[in-house]
Structure 1
Amino acid sequence: MARPPSEPDAPDLPEAVATPRSRWRVQIVWLVPVIAVLIGGWLAAKAVLDKGPTITISFATGEGLEAGKTRIKFKNVDIGVVRSVTLSKDHGSVIATAELTRDTSNMLVDDTRFWVVRPRISGGTVSGIGTLLSGSFIGMDLGTSTKERRDFAGLESPPVIASGVAGREFVLKSEDMGSLDVGSPVFFRRLQVGQITSYTLDANGKGVTLRAFINAPYDKYVQTDTRFWHASGVDVSLGTEGVKVNTQSLVSILIGGLAFQTPDETTGQPEAAVRTEFILFHDRTEAMKRHDRIVDTYIFNFNGSVRGLTVGAPVDFRGIVVGEVSAIYTRFDRVRKQFSIPVEVRFYPERFTSRYKSGDAGGRVTGNRRQLVDWLIARGMRAQLRTGNLLTGQLYIALEFFPAAPKAGMDWSANPPEMPTVPGGLQSLQDSLTSLLAELNKIPFEGIGKDAQKTLADADSLLKQLRTEVMPQARDTLAAAQTALDSANGALQPDSQLQQGTTDAMRELARTAAAFRTLADYLERHPEALIRGKQEDNK
């Protein structure tokens, strides 16, 4: 098009030039939402990739659990949070659903444990005090299994032993729990070396099974013949050395505990394997008693009272315990119409073998035990009840030889066989007194009394006769005798005639004896004088 002529007064304006529209202008505008979508997708993917596993944990109660706030911690590091807390379908428990971090996937195995950490006192230990300010949380302990798991049953109390602690666990069988509890201490030579980790009631209801964890390096002292016993109380014993009080520690008295030790004669045996089963005894005395491999059962039948004899009472042979009472029964003999007390005993024949020398192997004294027992019975061995403690009246059974005992034999047809007995010392005394009283009752004391009264009456008559008839004559006789004594006494006085005559006679006899002595001397010198006569002396 031709340009019109310019007017002198009109300003110069630039001429509009048509520019073609760029095709990239619309794509640049849409770049921002695209980038936003990409960022959102990346965040979403990252959220999905960073999201950890979701697990469910069942608890008996929801105490301390709060959705969105209750944390899950492992070694005090947050690894998850509880998202919801709901009741189970049967309303019997609480289900906590929790989300964990991504790096915990390999920690969720079959034996992983969870529990609510809250303030608690158990087994003499105090835990969870910090939650008074920070609030409760769920604790976690790693398992050792390789099987993965996503639903768990929470523990009602925290585990006593955390995973990774060096040591070994052992199983203990006991008749009852005593004062033990989870966390109760285990002592070795008065050092606390372990804890009770759990306990369960046996299926038959006749005992309990406990699990004890012994920390390393003390677990090496648990050997195949180690003995465990309750150390929860105070053991008081009275012996020749006075009163002894034994206990492990003040803690064991307050909260209970147990102890273990290996007998000196079996020290050096191999270490017990993990989860080896042991018997938990009531006290140290029972635990450290010799546990014999060979046990024979016999019956001792007593006719008298066994008051003071209890199950567990010793069977003694000359001061050595060779058995113990296992049961006490009653028996009625329908033929004799009499009651008796059969006492069942466990007899340990190994205790008759020689063990004071090193290397002696124990076992029975002889292979034929019946022959040995018959030989002992034939030589007077009998069982007798004796008093073991005068203060308590406790009895024990003594095996001793009684050569004068009536002959008896063993009844091997009975099961268990029955050994003969003799009455105890008190029973024998009682029988003797009974026999003596029976004999005394046979004496006719009434007739003897009447005879004695008659004799006393006769004696009284005799005394009266003596006073009336004999006494006067006796007095006259005594007077005459006194007169004779007075006369004799007067005659014996120095100035009496009899005394002077006697003195003169004695003098004459002395002179006569001197003359005879002179004559004898002369005849001894001059025997011829008997024929010739006495010769005159030459002057």
Structure 2
Amino acid sequence: MTPQAYKTLVGAFVVGGIVLFTLGIILLGGGRLFNNDVEYVLYFDGSVSGLSIGAPVVFRGVPMGSVTQISLVANARDSNVTIPVTIRIDERSFIRASGRALSESAQQEIIRRMVERGLRARLQLQSLITGQYRVELDFFPDTPMNFRSATPDLEIPTVPSPIDTLQRTLARIPIDQLMGALSNILENVSAAVGNGQLKAGIEAFTATFTETQRLLSDSSLRHSLENTLSQVDGASRAMQKELPGALASFHSAMDNLAQAAERLRRVADSAENTLGRDSPTMNEVRRLLTESISAVRSLRNLADMLERNPEALLMGRQGKR
């Protein structure tokens, strides 16, 4: 082999090795070596059991990325343990209206604004059969925006999942007290059944119900009640028919009585000039005149009330209680 051919072969071998090394890096990196995917960290308060690396990240059902890392971090100061979950948002999830992909900084700015509007992450059951979970992104504007990492721009706040909320609610229920109360109720029922009180009560209720049904089905009692109601209805109609004429006559009499009272007042004025203002006779006349006027006013009020509410003669006047 000539030296020139040898050099050519070695060069081709080196170039091929470089190409294979580059392809290996790209393949081992999942084809994400030259992309603009952005990673965010999530901190969940509850258990992340059922969540695994590679679990999907969705936004209202639309795939956005996947879980890339689940860690366990111990804090030496307060002996607390946190579980940061790292997710990767696919750059292909964000495109411009023109169809072009966004840069990494533009994606981060969009996520930051969405977090300010209430974007939160939570665990969602993906399958009842396998018990696997996924990360769900959605807007919860009424939840607090709590950050726990040193880089808030690369963190998405979390909210409890529906399962966690249900578990916390069940944990606050006083099961022991409820079971104790239920046990007391069952003991009381058992005691009532044992001494015959419950049976006696049921029999008494049955007898009362049967007697009430018999009274309601009694034809003579029902016929008597219907006759009484018919008589009351006839009397009411007759009164309503005759009452307008009686009220008119009553009004006329009240007017005549008012005129007589006015004439009496005039006579009293004339007598006052003759007998004197402070004489016993004038005092008696004044008292009689005052009582007459009060009686006329009361009778007129009664007539007005009967004209507006004629059934008051039967049912009485319905005043405020």
Query: Going by fraction, where is helix more abundant, 1 or 2?
Result: 2
**Highest CA radius of gyration, 1 or 2?**
1
Query: Going by fraction, where is strand more abundant, 1 or 2?
Result: 1
Higher relative contact order (CA 8 A, sep 6+): 2
